[in-house]
């Protein structure tokens, strides 16, 4: 059991990816123990830590970040989370230099110019592997999906995850008055598997 109080103890630099989005990235791509993941850019390292908690103990997260201060922040957070044997953080401009790993199960992209990293992501993924983009704006989603199709990916679902906190009190039950409305859209892509037809949508939000 990964201690959920850890999240309160990690230090926050750039805007962090919250559990609501990390949870859905992991679940929709079937991530599990033993998997190998590339996470880029690391930012504060929250997503790297969450993915690390799922692929541990035998899997790996290869986390890339181009700004040294964020690489160090991510390394510090990974250590606090007790995941230093699972998550490795590299300082690199991946758009220029690409990733080292091959045959990974998942690539997550959260950069201003994520779409430029898609050919690298495609080449690092195993057949059937997933790529997930974390994209705040509508236009970024369009650019991302177009670049993904050009790079050879199959287009999957694009979703927005909304968590409504509820107040449960003696005086009554209701949603909280104010809070988070939007973080980012999540766009899912898949590298085709030889001899397989495209995967149909996963039942993330479809009733019976």
Contact status: 192 vs its own copies (CB under 8 A): no
d(CA 17, CA 19): 7
Q: Concatenate the DSSP letters of all residues of 40-105 into one string.
A: E--TTSHHHHHHHHHHTTT-EEEEEESSHHHHHHHHHHHHHTT-TTTEEEEE--HHHH--S--SEE
Site for its own copies in 118-137 (CB under 8 A): 128-129, 136-137
Kindly tell me which residue out of 118, 132, 140, 153 binds its own copies, with binding defined by CB under 8 A: 140
* From candidates 63, 115, 124, 183, binder to its own copies by CB under 8 A: 183
Given candidates 96, 194, 195, 207, which one binds its own copies under the rule CB under 8 A? Answer: 207
Q: Which of 88, 83, 87 is nearest to 6 (CA)?
A: 83
2 binds its own copies (CB under 8 A): yes
Pick the closest to residue 81 from 60, 58, 52 (CA basis).
52
Applying CB under 8 A, which of residues 91, 95, 116, 159 lies at the interface with its own copies? Answer: 159
Q: Which of residues 54-83 bind its own copies (CB under 8 A)?
A: 54, 56-57
Contact residue for its own copies among 68, 194, 195, 206 (CB under 8 A): 206
């Amino acid at each position: 059991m990964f201690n959920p109080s850890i999240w309160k103890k990690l230090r926050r630099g750039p805007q962090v990816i919250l559990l609501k989005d990390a949870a859905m990235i992991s679940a929709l791509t079937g991530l599990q123990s033993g998997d190998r993941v590339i996470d880029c850019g690391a930012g504060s390292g929250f997503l790297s830590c969450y993915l690390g908690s799922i692929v541990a103990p035998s899997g790996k997260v290869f986390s890339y970040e181009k700004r040294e201060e964020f690489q160090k922040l991510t390394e510090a957070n990974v250590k606090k989370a007790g995941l230093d044997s699972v998550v490795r953080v590299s300082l690199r401009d991946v758009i220029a230099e690409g990733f080292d790993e091959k045959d990974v199960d998942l690539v997550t992209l959260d950069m201003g110019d994520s779409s430029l990293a898609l050919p690298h992501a495609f080449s690092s993924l195993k057949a059937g592997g997933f790529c997930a983009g974390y994209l705040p704006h509508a236009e970024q989603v369009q650019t991302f999906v177009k670049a993904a199709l050009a790079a050879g990916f199959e287009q999957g679902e694009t979703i927005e995850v909304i968590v409504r906190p509820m107040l449960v009190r003696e005086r009554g039950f209701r949603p909280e008055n104010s809070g988070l409305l939007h973080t980012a859209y999540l766009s899912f892509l898949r590298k085709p598997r030889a001899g397989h037809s495209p995967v149909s949508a996963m039942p993330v939000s479809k009733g019976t």
